[in-house]
Amino acid sequence: MMPERIADEAILRAVDDGFARQVAFLQDLVRFPSQRGEEHPAQSFMAAAYEADGYAVDMWRVDVDEIRDLPGFSPVAVSYDDAFNVVATHTPRNATGRSLILNGHIDVVPTGPLDRWVRDPYDPVIEDGWMHGRGAGDMKAGLSACLYALSALRSLGYQPAANVYLQSVVEEECTGNGALACLQRGYRADAAFIPEPLEPRLMRAQVGPIWFRVEVDGDPQHASGAFSAGANAIEKAFVIIQALKQLEIVWNARKVDDRHFHDHPHPIRFNLGKIEGGEWTSSVPARCVFEMRVATYPGQRLEDARAELEACIADAARADPFLANRPPKMTYNGFMAEGYVLE
Which of 152, 159, 162 has the alpha carbon at shortest distance from 9?
A: 152
CA distance 39 to 106: 7
HEC readout, 137-180: HHHHHHHHHHHHHHHHHHHCCCCCCCCEEEEEECCCCCCCHHHH
Catalytic machinery residues? 107, 172
At residue 199, the pLDDT reads: 77
pTM metric for this prediction: 0.92
Task: Count CB neighbours of 95 within 10 A.
Answer: 12
Query: What is the full per-residue pLDDT of the chain (343 aa) written as tens digits?
Result: 455 678 899 999 999 999 999 999 999 999 999 999 999 999 999 999 999 999 999 999 999 999 999 999 999 988 999 999 999 999 998 889 899 999 999 999 999 999 999 999 999 999 999 999 999 999 999 999 999 999 999 999 999 999 999 999 999 999 999 999 999 999 999 999 999 998 788 888 999 999 999 999 999 988 887 567 789 999 999 999 999 999 999 999 999 999 999 999 999 999 999 999 999 999 999 999 999 999 999 999 999 999 999 999 999 999 999 999 999 999 999 999 999 998 7
d(CA 197, CA 133): 14
Q: Please measure the distance between the N-terminal and C-terminal CA atoms of the chain and give it in whole angstroms.
A: 31
**Which residues make Cβ contacts (< 8 Å) with residue 238, sequence separation at least 6?**
none
> Is-contact 208 296, C-beta < 8 A?
yes
Q: For residues 274 and 239, give the distance between their C-alpha atoms in angstroms, rounded to a whole number.
A: 16
CA distances from 290 to 63, 232, 240, 273 (A): 29, 14, 10, 8
Q: What is the pLDDT of residue 4?
A: 65
Cβ-contact 308, 247 below 8 angstroms: yes
User: How far is Cα 176 from Cα 74, in angstroms, rounded to an integer?
Assistant: 7
Domains of the chain from N-terminus onward? 8-193 (3.40.630.10), 205-341 (3.30.70.360)
The tens digit of pLDDT for each residue in 227-250 reads 677 899 999 999 999 999 999 999
> What gap in Å lies between CA 217 and CA 119, rounded to an integer?
40
**Which region holds residue 157: left if phi is over 0, alpha if psi is between -120 and 50, else beta?**
left
Tens-digit pLDDT profile for residues 7-62:
899 999 999 999 999 999 999 999 999 999 999 999 999 999 999 999 999 999 99
Q: Which amino acid is at 101?
A: I
Distance CA 116, CA 111 (A): 9
Residue 271: which H helix or E strand, with range? strand 270-277
Whether the Cβ atoms of residue 84 and residue 198 lie closer than 8 Å to each other: no
The CA-based angle 88-92-96, given to 5 degrees, is 125
- Give the integer Cα–Cα distance in Å for 17 and 155: 10
* DSSP strands (E only) in 3-110: 56-61, 84-90, 100-105
What Rg, from alpha-carbon coordinates, does the chain have? Answer: 24
| Phi and psi torsions of 294, nearest 5° | -120, 155
